[in-house]
Structure 1
Amino acid sequence: MRSEEEQIEVLRDWWARNGSAVLIGVLVAVAAVVGMRFWNSHNANQAQGASIAYEKMLGALAQVEGRDDTVAWAEVEEQADQLRKDYGSTVYASHAGLALARKAVAAGDYDAAAGYLNDVIKADRNDALVYTARLRLARVDIQRQDFDAALATLKGRFPVDWSAQVAELRGDALRQKGEAGAARGAYDEALAAAPQGDSLAERIRMKLDDLAPAS
């Protein structure tokens, strides 16, 4: 059995050989824990800040429903810009892009609206938001009389539940392009996909009636 002095000497030798590695390991472990806590705190603060800005934007949007409220639109723009600038990697930024596109459409600035919607599509953060942006982009392109662009946007994949809206917009583009027969076919497809008794179905029937040849 080693004496106390021998044990101390053995420990000194071991520390001389391994002390640096032990210290480095401890420091790395501490740094990892501190870093994880900082990251979690940062993410929590980011999520909270984004949520607050998003709620303010939604509140302002609710105020402009059905009326032109300059003050509310300014709040929408302020909160949407903050979401895109400070939380650009989150889904909130895509919601902000849709809101800014809506504001641009209300102002008749269809080019700006198309830019915001394309940003949402390229970001591809959420399928439902991308489908929404593509439908709205098609409507904007129809307003810009860029019917081929609208038709190209509508060619991509959409969920089955969106079929009626997609076919209706395709009919709108074809009708304004002067292709009445193709537009009628698109509206027939839209009507078949639309829930019967729904306001969408009634709107499509009206468009079909407008295309009916005069007797």
Structure 2
Amino acid sequence: MAYDLEEQEQLADLKAFWNKYGNLLTWVLIVVLGSYAAWNFWNYHQRNQAADASVLYEELQKSLADKDNVKVQRIAADVESKFGSTAYGAMAALAAAKGAFDANDLKTAKVQLQWAIDHGTDEYKSIAKLRLAGVLLDEKAYDDGLKLLATNFLPQFAGAVADRKGDIFVAQNKLAEARTAYQAALTAMDSKNPGRKLVELKLESIGGTVAQPPKAAA
């Protein structure tokens, strides 16, 4: 069908526009489509990684329950090397640290906890640092433990950090500092925190007094 004059002018304008900008638009489209494909591939890869990591983590938990520390450490190393960018990496490191600690292998426990500190999210870092401070307490490395507890923690761990400081001060026979730390732990802990009772017992055992909550007005 022959084009009328107006259609011929529009076609000429389109050709001129394409001649001027067509190459640029093609490259923009390639970049956009490539980015979309990469995003889909990344999501697919992440889902597959999480699924594979979960299988290994379940196997690790079973080995932990069986107290097979050699297998626990082997699986944890596998998870950390292959899936360290997922949450399972830090979870495996924490589980492996427990397995090593239960097997009285404090050196390996420290290595695994340090891995979680170096690679985990802020929550896992906080958990790992608290547990590492506990290992340092067992090793009588009190100054190192206190130094670690002075680093950054998420706010919700304030009570647990103060409690751990109190434990270290007790081990050093610094009872005044321990009482202050335990009081700080109780202040930071919610009234329904199941750990409060233990902190209260520790405070009272070193001569501290647990403050009673104010009575409601009659």
TM-score (norm 2): 0.71
Kept after mapping to 2: 8 A contact 1:117/1:136 = yes
Q: Of the candidates 101, 105, 124, which is equivalent to residue 105 of structure 1?
A: 101
Q: Which runs of 5+ in 1 are unaligned?
A: 1-20
User: Aligned pair 1:95/2:85, yes or no?
Assistant: no
User: More deviation in 33-42 or 193-202?
Assistant: 33-42
Q: Please show how residues 28-177 of structure 1 align to structure 2 within 5 Å.
A: 32=34, 41-61=44-64, 64=65, 69-71=66-68, 73=69, 76-123=72-119, 125-177=120-172
Aligned-partner residue type, residue 172 of structure 1: D
Superposition RMSD on alpha carbons, in Å?
A: 3.3
Size of the aligned set, in residue pairs, is 189
User: Aligned pair 1:186/2:181, yes or no?
Assistant: yes
User: More deviation in 40-49 or 150-159?
Assistant: 40-49
Deviations 1:55-100 (A, max 9, x none): 3334554xx3xxxx335x5554443232112212322111111011
When residues 37 and 128 of structure 1 are mapped into structure 2, their CA distance, relative to the original with a 3 A threshold, is closer
Kept after mapping to 2: 8 A contact 1:80/1:97 = yes
When residues 185 and 81 of structure 1 are mapped into structure 2, their CA distance, relative to the original with a 3 A threshold, is same
Kept after mapping to 2: 8 A contact 1:110/1:143 = no
Aligned-partner residue type, residue 100 of structure 1: A
Aligned-partner residue type, residue 90 of structure 2: S
TM-score (norm 1): 0.72
Kept after mapping to 1: 8 A contact 2:163/2:181 = yes
Kept after mapping to 1: 8 A contact 2:63/2:71 = yes
CA distance in 2, matches of 1:153, 1:44: 35
CA distance in 1, matches of 2:110, 2:140: 13
CA distance in 2, matches of 1:191, 1:47: 38
1:13 alignment partner in structure 2: none
Q: Which runs of 5+ in 2 are unaligned?
A: 1-22, 209-218
Identity of aligned residues (%): 30
